Amino acid sequence: MKDVSPTEAAPKIQGKNATKTLEKTTPLTEVVISLYEAQEKIYPRSTSGFFTKWRWVMIWLTQLFFYGVPWINWGHRQALLFDLETKRFYIFNLVLYPQDLIYLTAILVISALSLFLFTAIAGRLWCGYTCPQTVYTEIFLWIERKIEGDRAARMKLDTAAMTTKKLVKKSCKHFAWIAFALWTGFTFVGYFTPIRALANELIHLNISPWETFWVCFYGFATYGNAGFLREQVCKYMCPYARFQSAMFDDDTLVVTYDEARGEPRGGRSRKLETSKTLGSCIDCSLCVQVCPTGIDIRKGLQYECIGCGACADVCDTVMDKMGYARGLIKYSTQNTMTNKWSHKQMMQRILRPRVIIYTSILAFLVSALLASLWLRTPFRVDVIRDRGVMARLADGGMLENVYRLQIMNGTESIQHYQLNATGIKGLLIEVDGTEINQDVIVKPAESRWLSLRLEIPDGSVEPGSYPVEFEIKSLQSKETVTEKSIFLVPR
């Protein structure tokens, strides 16, 4: 196929994931399709208004939580800590072991279902207000604006030749971004290793290679995603953007442009009556300039829209200046726009079957999780039969089987336990060679492995496999946990 020059170019086709450029070389058939086109940088203009305020409220809340919680102590330790080294998860007064993974799984399922419910009611509010990608992009944009100025100044700076002033501005911006990103990486690692110890290591330049790697890795991810990739993460990388449409219906709140009221759009003098020739849209393009994903909401709902409401805020200011009613761009539903419903009618549609089903499942799962946590015994036990030793004759004509037993103390105080075994007449239990006549002591939030022997007089029962039960009783809580195993009597 022969190469073609750009001057011969023909129309562009906008696809979802790529821009295809059709270039005709002859009037007949030769066509070059480019599946890649460099992204044009988006320079979102700053805005203010009701939704912008709420976005900043959410940014403050989420960031106060993220950066603040690791520094909160609960007793003598960090309140929220996923300690990978000791394999303990501390969530305030709850101590979870890897065996409690079911609780973490349940929390993840509940979070996912909450997102479904939230999306069915209010669309992509999660994306626009609380998603880390949006939140960090907004923070990085704020830093960028403070150093380089608003949209027009940034565009001008980027196209200008490199001067000392430009170099200083760019260096300051990247320095601030990197410092913020590293702080984010440090905080993230502080959820997995005690943050005070980590800070101490950092101050004394004694931080371990793995901790250094994860701080830099997470910091680099923040720097890259919020500083450079920005809306491309939402458009091309985020899986939620792909399947969220399955959770939308005609009663889901989305950011909408009131086409009936806005069209035909066009510039006009402030005094011109809209009703005569033009709709309310003055075609100022401010709604496009403030959009962090660079779309034009006037073309209808698009999957790139993250529901941030910036376009609604800026359009309201334009409407105010023109003396028109607010709400040319607003949160509304498809049904409301089509059927001209009132606000009350729109809100009444929130309680629809899909929402009721999601809410019921969510309520059930949350109740089950809370009940399970409430009824959870404060210790766990695992018994493993020693498969290397089938059965053997011990001193005194006794036949013994060997086991390993682990007691995990899920409380934050020293616990005393009593062990017992039942299932065969005359069954004796020994712990590490000593007949069990004293308590087993396990330190706070620790686990202890014990080597156990069950013994019966040789010949007292027929050869075979006998079920036995270990009973472990906490002397503090008086709760008892039983674990099943088998006792082998060889021929």
Query: Is the separation of the CB atoms in 13 and 19 below 8 Å?
Result: yes
Amino acid type, 433:
G
CA 155 – CA 159 distance, rounded (Å): 6
293 in contact with ligand SF4 (CB under 6 A): yes
Q: Which of 143, 329 has the CB closer to ligand SF4?
A: 329
Shortest reach from residue 192's CB to ligand SF4, in Å: 33
241 in contact with ligand SF4 (CB under 6 A): no
| Subset of residues 326 to 365 that bind ligand SF4, contact rule: CB under 6 A | 328-329
Shortest reach from residue 244's CB to ligand SF4, in Å: 13
Residue from 96, 121, 287, 429 touching ligand SF4 (CB under 6 A): that is 287
125 in contact with ligand SF4 (CB under 6 A): no
Residue 381 tokens, joined: 């036990």
The number of residues that bind ligand SF4 (CB under 6 A) is 29
- What per-residue string of b and e applies to 293-321 under the rule 16 or more CB within 10 Å gives b? bbbebbeebeebbbbbbbbbbbbbebbee
Residue from 306, 419, 436, 442 touching ligand SF4 (CB under 6 A): that is 306
Q: Which of 296, 386 has the CB closer to ligand SF4?
A: 296
Q: Which of 238, 284 has the CB closer to ligand SF4?
A: 284
436 in contact with ligand SF4 (CB under 6 A): no
Stretch binding ligand SF4 (CB under 6 A), from 107-115, 188-196, 285-293, 410-418: 285-293
Burial of 411 (0-12, 13-18, 19+ CB in 10 A): middle
Residue from 198, 310, 398, 429 touching ligand SF4 (CB under 6 A): that is 310
CA 309 – CA 329 distance, rounded (Å): 9
Beta-bridged to residue 74, according to DSSP, are 77
Shortest reach from residue 52's CB to ligand SF4, in Å: 10
255 in contact with ligand SF4 (CB under 6 A): yes
Amino acid type, 281:
C
Q: Which of 317, 418 has the CB closer to ligand SF4?
A: 317
Note the residues at the interface with ligand SF4 (CB under 6 A).
255, 262, 265, 281-287, 290-293, 295, 297-298, 305-311, 314-315, 318, 328-329
